[in-house]
Structure 1
Amino acid sequence: MTQRRMPSGQGPSRRAAAGRPTPSRTRNTGPIRVPSSRRTPGSSDGGAAAKRTDAPRHRALTGRATVLIAVFVALALAYTYPLRVYLEQESQIAEMERAKADQQAKIAATAKELEKWNDPEYQRIQARENFFYVRPGETPLLVYYDAAGAARDAEEKAPAAAPDRWYDTLWSSVQAANAEPAD
């Protein structure tokens, strides 16, 4: 009778069937004689055979694990480009929202300025400041700034004398003390 394979590609399940021995991790390769020089003092002289066993070997990577890792790597590589595009679009959306907020602030400031210009008193003040309008009966006084004249006036004044340096003052005081007659 043929046993059916599992969908995962494995062989038959590893459950112990009735009447079948389960394989052990030890392998009998035959009797081994221990030399008499290595025998312990309490052992018999008959040269009893020792059983040779193999240590259990762990596979580093099974075929199924290799395929699973390859699938994970392929999925990770497949998702990197859409994830990068998504993050790029999120940053663009955030930048556009900041620009939108800035534009709304500018619109609000312009609307506030427009509201000021609807006031006739504000219009009169602006006309007086910008266009030098005066009311009937007022005498306008205009002050012109003459940069060349200001520079010319500054040159005519004598510069202030520079203060003496401290060591010049000290030396002159030493000379004055030396020049005094001793009584």
Structure 2
Amino acid sequence: MIEALILVIFPFCMVYAAISDMITMTIANRVSVLLVATFLIVAPLTGMPLAAIGFHVLAAMAVLAVTFGLFALGTMGGGDAKLLAATALWMGIGTPLAEYAVLGAIWGGMLTLAILVYRNSPISDVTGNFLLLRKFADRRVGIPYGVALGAAGLMVFPSSPLGVWAVQALTR
């Protein structure tokens, strides 16, 4: 049961955030709340030591402080900041969090370049009315960074502490 929660909730939230941001340019608070609540419920049930849970919370708080600073400067959306922090809670301090940050930046950079090329191409005029491409084509809006964050989260999740625990629990 715990394995199912871990293996369904996190990926679902990453995919939902990516699609939601792509369509509406928003990531609902409920996504971050669900990630945080699920982690806080399942982490102790996996046998994760309280000190390790504390370090995961510390990682989330540090990421939230940095990303809200970026939000205050107008360089990041609030939903992106909250999603990054909630995802950091699942990754903890260490390699998975570093991988998530690097992959998020790489995917974000590639997404930004692709959208800028797309917005300046004639094809955006033709495909811009398609629901999934509407915000990509709109030159007045920013970049739906939740797409990059979702992709990075899905890529790193298998090496996250809870991802590793769930796979190991299923193979026992």
Query: If the length of structure 2 is used for normalisation, what is the TM-score?
Result: 0.21
Q: Which has the larger radius of gyration?
A: 1
- If asked which structure has higher relative contact order (CA below 8 Å, sep 6+), I would say 2
* Structure showing the higher helix proportion among its residues: 2
Query: If the length of structure 1 is used for normalisation, what is the TM-score?
Result: 0.20
